Amino acid sequence: MSVPLAAEKQFAVAAVRRACLLTSFVFNKLVKNETLVKGDKSPVTVGDFATQAMVNTMLARAFPDDPIVGEEDASDLRAESGTTVRERIIELANDALNADLELGDKASWGIGPGSTQTTDALLDAIDRGNFAGGRTGRMWTIDPIDGTKGFLRGGQYAVCLALIVDGIVQVGVIGCPNLPAVWTQPRGDVGCIFVAVRGQGAQQLTLSGASPTPISIPLSTPGTLNFLESVEAAHADHGFNERVSKLLGIICEPTRMDSQAKYCCLARGDGGAYLRMPTGVGYKEKIWDHAPGSLLIEEADGIVTDSRGQSLDFGLGRTLGENYGVIAAGKDVHAKILAAVQQANTEIANAKT
């Protein structure tokens, strides 16, 4: 009997692997005018656009009927003012599509040498990511560079791809080009890929997609427990996490890191829990920022909920809906952390009345 979703898993690893080479290349070559600021004031680089163009081109060939929810769209690039960055993005995406990585890529996914696309085809590929999402059918979600601020500062970032079927994440792959293969050995091998398939466990691979190693969240104790949290104070409430730490008697300092690398570190035991509580009202978490990471945690023996204790809902559209935060932790401590989060919320609400 064939293994369910084997082709999707193999595809997603191949696409993320190719994308990681592209983003690393861009980082080393990035010049000042290759970063734009989006309408929501967040940065986006030629690397984000080129990666989404490349992965969506691969997706269109491998799974032509599957819609895509992607973070980026090409509207700014189509304008006359976007000419310089547009040309750079097309060059980068075509270089990545043409890269001769291995025979398997060409045979399986129809890319490699001779895959050059026109400008229009690549802009259209970016815009294949405009799907609205929803509760029924298959769809992919891509965050070409998650943690763009981390990418720009040479810190952690991640290339994130997931397959969602009927609102449930089934395959998740995260490439972390700057993450040490072993957290405690920062001078050792750097760069890894994480993969999870629902019901089939979670694994860490090398950046070339080799040596799959099963990962899972180890048991933790109050003495070893620490939080993984965002670097940007605007993205998650650091003060709230401190309050929860006090309630739980946590003595370890939090580890701050950009991107879904936080989920990856948690899944392999480099941190006790990932806590991401809203900093204000209005922001809705995007499905591409959590889809592969949440599956990775579940397949590594963890639990992911919001602060009400409910599962994240990937069937609502491009966002997770009203923002009740995210709590990801091992099975043994999740309930305790959730209770502390709820107590902290009650204390804050009481202090206001």
Cβ atoms within 10 A of the Cβ of 55, count?
Answer: 29
Contact between 8 and ligand PPS (CB under 6 A)? no
Per partner kind, with CB cut-offs from 5 to 8 A, the member of Mg ion, ligand PPS, none near residue 268 is none
Rule CB under 6 A: say whether 51 interacts with ligand PPS. no
Rounded to whole angstroms, how far apart are CA atoms 320 and 139?
15
CA distance 318 to 336: 30
237 is catalytic: no
Strand 227-229 with 255-256, pairing: parallel
Is 198 a binding residue for ligand PPS by CB under 6 A? The answer is no
- Spot the catalytic one: 148, 279, 305, 319: 148
**146, 229, 237, 298: residue in contact with Mg ion (rule CB under 5 A):** 146
Site string for ligand PPS, 215-254 (x = CB under 6 A): ---------------xxx-xx-------------------
Q: Minimal distance in Å, beta carbon 276 to Mg ion?
A: 12
CB-wise, 62 or 74, nearer to ligand PPS?
Answer: 74
Long-range residue pairs from 333-338, CB within 8 A, at least 24 positions apart, any chain: 333/220, 333/225, 333/272, 333/273, 334/273, 334/302, 334/303, 334/305, 336/248, 337/244, 337/248, 337/273, 337/275, 338/305, 338/307, 338/309
Residues 23-42 that bind ligand PPS (CB under 6 A): 42
Select the residue interacting with Mg ion from 8, 66, 71, 299 (CB under 5 A): 71
Q: Amino acid letter at 104?
A: G
Query: Of residues 8, 72, 105, 146, which one binds ligand PPS by CB under 6 A?
Result: 146
The residue from 127, 229, 237, 289 that contacts Mg ion (CB under 5 A) is 289
Q: Give the contact letters, 26-65, x = binds to Mg ion (CB under 5 A), - = no.
A: ----------------x-----------------------
* Cβ–Cβ < 8 Å for 213, 203: yes
| Count of residues in contact with ligand PPS, rule CB under 6 A | 18
Angle at 295 between CA 277 and CA 313, to 5 degrees: 60
Dist. CA 66–CA 290, nearest whole Å = 20
Of residues 268, 22, 274, the one with CA closest to residue 145: 22
Tell me the closest approach of the beta carbon of residue 222 to Mg ion, in angstroms. Answer: 31
Residue 69 and residue 290 in contact, taking contact as beta carbons nearer than 8 Å = no
Measured from the CB atom, is 148 or 178 closer to Mg ion?
Answer: 148
Annotated binding residues for Mg(2+): 71, 143, 145-146, 289
Shortest distance, position 113 Cβ to ligand PPS, whole Å? 30
Interface pick for ligand PPS out of 170, 204, 259, 305 (rule CB under 6 A) = 259
Three-class secondary structure of residue 168 per DSSP: strand
Distance CA 313, CA 306 (A): 10
- CA 173 to CA 293: how far, in whole Å? 8
Q: How many whole angstroms separate alpha carbon 83 and alpha carbon 159? A: 25
The answer to whether 148 is a known catalytic residue is yes
- Under the binding rule (CB under 5 A), the answer on residue 229 touching Mg ion is no
Q: Is residue 71 a contact point for ligand PPS (CB under 6 A)?
A: yes
DSSP H stretches of helix in 173-303: 238-248, 261-268, 291-299
72 in contact with ligand PPS (CB under 6 A): no
Q: Which residues bind ligand PPS (CB under 6 A)?
A: 42, 71, 143, 146-150, 230-232, 234-235, 258-259, 283, 286, 289
Q: Which residues bind Mg ion (CB under 5 A)?
A: 42, 71, 143, 145-146, 148, 289
